[in-house]
Amino acid sequence: MCGIVGFTGRQQASKILLEGLKKLEYRGYDSAGIAVMDGEKISVNKVRGRIANLEEKTKNGDAVPGTTGIGHTRWATHGAPTEENAHPHLSNDGRFAVVHNGIIENYLTLREELIRDGYHFESETDTEVIVHLIEQYYRGSMSEALIRATNRLRGSYALGVICTEKPDKIYAVREASPLILGIGLEENYFASDVTALVSHTRNVIYLEDGEFAELSPDSVRIYDCRGKAVDKEITRILWDVQAAEKGGYEHFMLKEIMEQPGAVKATITPRVKDNRIAFEELSISREELSDIRKIVITACGSAYYAGCSGKYALEKLCRIPVEVELASELRYSDPLIDEHTLLIVISQSGETADTIAAMKECKARGARTLAIVNVVGSTVAKLADYTVYTWAGPEIAVATTKGFTTQVTVLYMLALYFGDMLGLVGDRYEGILKSLLSLPRCIQHAIDLNAKVSRLAKKYHKSSSIFFIGRNTDYAVALEGALKMKEISYLHAEAYAAGELKHGTIALIEDHQPVIALCCNPAIMEKTLSNIVEVKSRGAEVLALTFRNNRKILSVADDLLFIPDVDALFSAVIEIVPLQLLAYYVAKENGCDIDKPKNLAKSVTVE
């Protein structure tokens, strides 16, 4: 959600800023802008819409000289997506420019105060109060101005600041919003995501809440909220820069769907030693685990559905009750959580605002916390008592694919690991582990089995709405499948537990209504088949997702998607793949912006 870049060095800043902003497009935005210092004054260029418009306005950066600057992609919160509301924002005297990710909760009070003090506002944003506060408190020392200004702010912010009196310096400030420093040779950077940095440097420093940094071409100085110098460790980004490129695919989403066999293998392989699951990063003991009375999984969006999908394996193998809660609801629910609760927190970015807030609330009540995240050094990872990384690599498309499947895979592995630790698996261990190890191969097989899914997309892409139905794990996957369909194709799609059809939903079934039925659990196959017959008798057209050679379904389904034979307990990561492909091709038929769906952001860092 929004993106920030900053650069200071010997090169032309505008080109690097534009390149960095393009790498951050996946985060979601509706306007963009850059501010570059030419040594005497700050030149600001802002546009509505895509970065391509900004490139055109600045002649690909050639029209904006200078070697120090900041850039921003805005996802509108306070004020409409207009050029006036786009970042960067200038101070009244023109000496300062600011870009900001996050929300300033007390901005109205500050705005009224600043207006009384004689400042005028050009925008409707909460951000503009920041740049006027910096101007108000500046007395020659940027560190003092930043400390005094940020002490007045309530909310979340990652800030990038430049000042005409410090012509080769950029300033970065973090509070509850991610911000990363990039360390180069005679040039330094900051950004809200490493994807904006890796083509220039893989050496990064993760700022903590309350810290700010002063960067020049030759130095990086970091301070705490009192202005005391802080020593920080430099981290090396290990994944290849090509991982953030399309690699010949038309869209990042398709590339990331096809990467899932490798991503799931990367999640599993390092944690299998001597034919046993080995979570070396977890220090939880058998005694501590035995003290757990319930597991609560909390997350938002697809990560929440990953929790729904993994719940069944955890309960079956560990025999511990598992609740799955939306983080945005859990944080306000006065939850019944104590020291006998294990809270599993799932977030691809590790920066999801509601998830972080729910995590803090549960930790305050005594819960032990285990994070499943993809981004090393993220806020969720640092807050957790235990952290398991998915190692999925960078995911650029806004709609998650390999992020989801690797999260579910980690839950499967935890289920076996904990179940074995509690002595509940016994001689079934070898067979269960074999099923887990087969998942990468089965995902690839699912891709191969559905090579004709684009033809089905041509049939269903004009539908006004699509229903997904399933039971048990099939229902959990239906939730994620429906989300994929609506978020990238903009078709109305809803998932229902198939057994609930007669409790209201079936009233919506009429002639030619598309229904996608998930039938991948042999134990409840007959029940799901009955539900398919129910909707067929009312005129529905049924696209069934099932395992190969399921002859019973051939007589009732109109169209079929297939997965290979797989243990039903671990089928979610296989089932979702054909549904991801279907959503992708439906969106393509509808001419949608697949990697950057309208109004959506990759990382939701504000409430």
- Positions marked active-site: 2, 602
Helix (H) or strand (E) run with residue 155 in it: strand 155-163
268: burial class by Cβ within 10 Å (0-12, 13-18, 19+)? buried
In whole angstroms, what is the distance from residue 168 CA to residue 511 CA? 67
In the numeric block, the tokens 């506002």 are attached to: 121
Contact of 546 with 589, CB cutoff 8 Å: no
Q: C-alpha angle 490/496/500, rounded to 5°?
A: 155
Task: List Cα–Cα distances, 414 to 295, 352, 527, in angstroms.
Answer: 12, 22, 30
Task: List Cα–Cα distances, 460 to 401, 454, 456, 514, 528, in angstroms.
Answer: 21, 10, 6, 7, 22
In whole angstroms, what is the distance from residue 30 CA to residue 598 CA? 9
Record the tokens describing residue 115, joined without a space: 């207006």
Record the tokens describing residue 445, joined without a space: 């097989």
Record the tokens describing residue 315, joined without a space: 């309960």
Closest CA to 295 of 342, 258, 249: 342
Residues facing residue 70 across a β-bridge:
6, 35
Record the tokens describing residue 437, joined without a space: 């190890």
Contact of 150 with 225, CB cutoff 8 Å: yes
- Count Cα atoms within 13 angstroms, Cβ side, for 22: 15
In whole angstroms, what is the distance from residue 366 CA to residue 511 CA? 53
Record the tokens describing residue 515, joined without a space: 């229904």
Contact of 485 with 466, CB cutoff 8 Å: yes
292-324 in b/e form (b: 16+ CB < 10 A) is bebbbbbbbbbbbbbbbbbbbbbeebbebebbb
Closest CA to 343 of 351, 360, 527, 334: 360
Contact of 384 with 345, CB cutoff 8 Å: yes
In whole angstroms, what is the distance from residue 558 CA to residue 604 CA? 39
DSSP letter string, 88-113: PEE-TTSSEEEEEEEEETTHHHHHHH
In whole angstroms, what is the distance from residue 211 CA to residue 173 CA? 6
Record the tokens describing residue 440, joined without a space: 């990468």
List % helix, strand, coil for the chain (3-state, nearest 5): 40, 25, 40
In the numeric block, the tokens 């919003």 are attached to: 177
Contact of 67 with 38, CB cutoff 8 Å: no
Beta carbons within 10 angstroms of residue 139's beta carbon: 8
Contact of 535 with 508, CB cutoff 8 Å: no
